[in-house]
Structure 1
Amino acid sequence: MPDNQMFDIPTEMRELAEKNVEQARVAYGQFMEFMSQAMNAWSSSGAPEAGN
């Protein structure tokens, strides 16, 4: 049996998987943008730094 055996994946399943990956990518991008905005707002608000 060859080590690089290919699997036959139905087109519909491949499209669904690609759509789900793209949705996850968009959600992660939105989350990171929100966190960046929150950190910028927090750091510019004069909040005390941790450990001080």
Structure 2
Amino acid sequence: AKTTATADALSTAILILGPIKGKQFIDKLPGIEGLIVTKNDVTLRSYGWGYYT
């Protein structure tokens, strides 16, 4: 995200959506990547995560 406020808003939205729908949401946003770790330690990475890490 370009600003911390945008990152905060996105993380809140993803938390509310849950891990699966949250990842799907991230994957639709250009220029936004994310890593989600569930309460069961399952790791979900957005489609382009590897490009930036």
Same fold per TM (> 0.5)? no
Identify, as 1 or 2, the structure richer in strand. Answer: 2
| Bigger Rg over Cα | 1
TM-score, structure 1 length as denominator? 0.32
TM-score, structure 2 length as denominator? 0.32
Identify, as 1 or 2, the structure richer in helix. Answer: 1
